[in-house]
């Protein structure tokens, strides 16, 4: 069931939580990067941020304003798409659900080989894994985006990866609010 995003509220309400409780509840929104939640809480979480869109905006600003090294660390924290972590069951629950939703768990051997080849080429060129918000995409669209983004320069691709990570976090927060609606 999908609700209108403007009427959704996160539970527990972020504005009511201590720093430790906020990080315990929302620190996993950014893959293995609880500092984003810590920074958001310290920046000031108000009742406005009980809505997933507003909290996503605040947390996104923390990542956008972070030092380059912190941004790269968040990108590196993401798993390869249809990679070894996925096939061996080592993904976070959110990543597993997201990749399965895009059909990445149903790749043919040839598609897995193509993902592996593109993952390796991308990491060789940029030094971090390819990140894309897979919600609403299928594996064919993801493979096409992979090939297109391999043409980017490093600065453009880092910005694109950060934008994609912010979109992933937005989808995760919306899903949590919808699940509790």
Give the chain's radius of gyration (CA, Å).
17
Nearest-angstrom CA–CA distance, 69 and 79: 18
Q: How confident is the model at residue 1 (pLDDT cuts 50, 70, 90)?
A: very low
Across 141-159, average pLDDT: 96
Return the number of other C-beta atoms located less than 10 Å from residue 1's C-beta.
5
Q: Mean pLDDT of all residues in the chain?
A: 90
On whether the CB atoms of residues 146 and 29 are closer than 8 A, the answer is no
In order of start, what are the domains of the chain with their CATH numbers?
78-160 (1.10.3330.10)
Write out pLDDT tens, residues 103-131: 878 888 898 899 999 999 999 999 999 99
Task: Please state, in angstroms and as integers, the Cα–Cα distance from residue 2 to each residue in 64, 93, 180, following that order.
Answer: 28, 20, 11
Enter the pTM of the model: 0.88
- Which is catalytic among the residues 32, 49, 78, 140? 78
49 is catalytic: no
């Amino acid at each position: 069931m999908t609700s209108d995003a403007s009427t959704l509220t996160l539970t527990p309400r972020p504005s009511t939580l201590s720093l430790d409780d906020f990080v315990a509840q929302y620190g996993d929104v950014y893959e293995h990067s609880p500092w984003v939640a810590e920074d958001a809480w310290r920046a000031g979480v108000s009742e406005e941020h009980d809505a997933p869109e507003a909290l996503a905006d605040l947390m996104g600003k923390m990542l956008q304003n972070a030092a380059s090294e912190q941004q790269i660390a968040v990108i590196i924290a993401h798993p390869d798409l249809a990679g070894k972590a996925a096939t061996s069951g080592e993904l976070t629950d959110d990543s597993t659900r997201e990749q399965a939703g895009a059909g990445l768990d149903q790749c043919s051997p040839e598609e897995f080989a193509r993902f592996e080849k593109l993952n390796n080429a991308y990491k060789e060129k940029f030094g971090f894994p390819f990140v894309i918000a897979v919600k609403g995409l299928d594996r064919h669209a993801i493979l096409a985006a992979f090939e297109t983004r391999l043409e980017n320069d490093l600065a453009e691709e880092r910005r694109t990866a950060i934008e994609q990570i912010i979109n992933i976090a937005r989808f995760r927060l919306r899903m949590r609010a919808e699940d509790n609606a």
